Amino acid sequence: MSSIIDTTAESIRSMEIRGAGRIARAGAEALRGFAETYAGNDLASFRADLKAAEQTLLASRPTAVSLWNGVQSSLKGAYKTESVDAARELILANSRQFCKRSLEAGDMIARIGAKRICDGDTVMTHCNSSMAVGIIEEAHRQGKEFKVYATESRPWRQGIITVTQLAEAGVDTTLIIDSAVRSVMKRTDKVFVGADTVTSHGALINKIGTSQLALAAHEARVQFYACAETYKFSPMTLYGDMVTIEERDISEVVRPGEIPASVKVFNPVFDSTPAAYIDAIITEMGMISPGSVYGIMVEQFGYKEE
Ligand code: RI2
């Protein structure tokens, strides 16, 4: 197997590379590296090696459909070319276009989402979403006066990354523990979270605990926004496929010997938030209702119910 494929897959699996957008671009860039360095000219062997590379990348983290969409976008048409060189050129072009569009989408989401932050607002965010952080930083750049509560997001504590990023940008930021969410929601005006996957019926699959923020926001009449590029929309869910909720090692939750050996540890790292608790999804195509996801999915991916 190609070293760049194995190295990238391991970096995604270990969360050295994390964040749904970043892992999608990493998958696309790994395939670009695979294509650039592939030495053989036998088409059948190339296709077999390419399939193995695809499967290795897709197996690295199962929940974020962004990785699947990044890989599929990079491979579009690559199994149908008449030569290895033609496939190589196609993968190089597809991969570059996906990564360019991914970054452009993030810039657009920051500009659109920043309009929803007003002077005097109190904003809450969860985990570490480059989309949510981008919106907050853009609003700050525009000179808006507001403050942010960021959750610690156990067990991986990605909230530490978020508060560091926001503090470095000069944003008034407070770290809270996850169990403080409902209490702090009372003094919150808007919630911005990222997305790993958005289903065809508008549900949000995101870091574990997101659904608790949404539930508390719904109770407190606080606006709840999911911030996601459309390549995080899952075409597989159109046909009823369930999104796999990744469970990670117990060592991320407890230290060795900390609990009796007979105690089990359940460590799901994503959860699902129903569309009813989402006020809007902020995408590069604009602010949409969860109910609009199907139409955009068909438009973007050309999927039509058979
Ligand atoms: P961006 C992250 O998962 C969080 O769930 C975050 O909300 C989501 O990916 C989207 O991140 P993890 O990789 O694409 O930390 O908005 O498990 O950066």
pLDDT of residue 1: 59
Mean of the pLDDT values across residues 22-28? 98
Per-residue pLDDT tens over the stretch 227-249? 999 999 999 998 889 999 999 99
CB 44: neighbour CB atoms within 10 A? 9
> Residue 306: which pLDDT band, with cuts at 50, 70 and 90?
very low
> Residue 299: which pLDDT band, with cuts at 50, 70 and 90?
confident
pLDDT of residue 258: 97
- 11, 12, 63, 128: residue to mutate for ligand 1 pocket, most atoms within 8 A of CB: 128
Percent of the chain topping pLDDT 90: 94
Phi, psi torsion values for 256, nearest 5 degrees: -55, 130
DSSP the chain: --HHHHHHHHHHHTTSS-SHHHHHHHHHHHHHHHHHH-----HHHHHHHHHHHHHHHHTS-SS-HHHHHHHHHHHTTTTS-SSHHHHHHHHHHHHHHHHHHHHHHHHHHHHHHHTT--TT-EEEE-S--HHHHHHHHHHHHTT---EEEEE--TTTTTHHHHHHHHHHHT-EEEEE-GGGHHHHHTT-SEEEE--SEE-TTS-EEEETTHHHHHHHHHHTT-EEEEE--GGGB-GGGGGTPPPP--B--GGGTS-TTSS-TT-----B-EEEE-GGG-SEEEETTEEE-GGGHHHHHHHHH-----
Q: Could you tell me the sign of the dihedral formed by the alpha carbons of 282, 283, 286, 291, in that order?
A: negative
Q: Of 99, 178, 196, 227, which is the active-site residue?
A: 196
Task: Identify the residues whose C-beta falls under 6 Å from ligand 1.
Answer: 18-21, 127, 129-131, 158, 193-196, 206-207, 269
The gap from C-alpha 5 to its chain's centroid, in whole angstroms, comes to 20
pLDDT of residue 302: 67
pLDDT of residue 194: 98
Residue 208 token pair: 């574990």
Q: Of 99, 107, 119, 127, which is the active-site residue?
A: 127
Q: What is the pTM of this model?
A: 0.96
Percent of the chain topping pLDDT 70: 98
Average pLDDT, the chain: 96
| N-term to C-term CA, the chain | 37
Residue 97 token pair: 């276009």
Specify the ligand 1 atom closest to the Cα of 156: 15
Per-residue pLDDT tens over the stretch 256-296? 999 999 999 999 999 999 999 999 999 999 999 999 999 99
Distance 63 CA to ligand 1 centre (A): 10
Per-residue pLDDT tens over the stretch 189-203? 999 999 999 999 999
Q: Is 85 a catalytic residue?
A: no
On whether the CB atoms of residues 228 and 206 are closer than 8 A, the answer is no
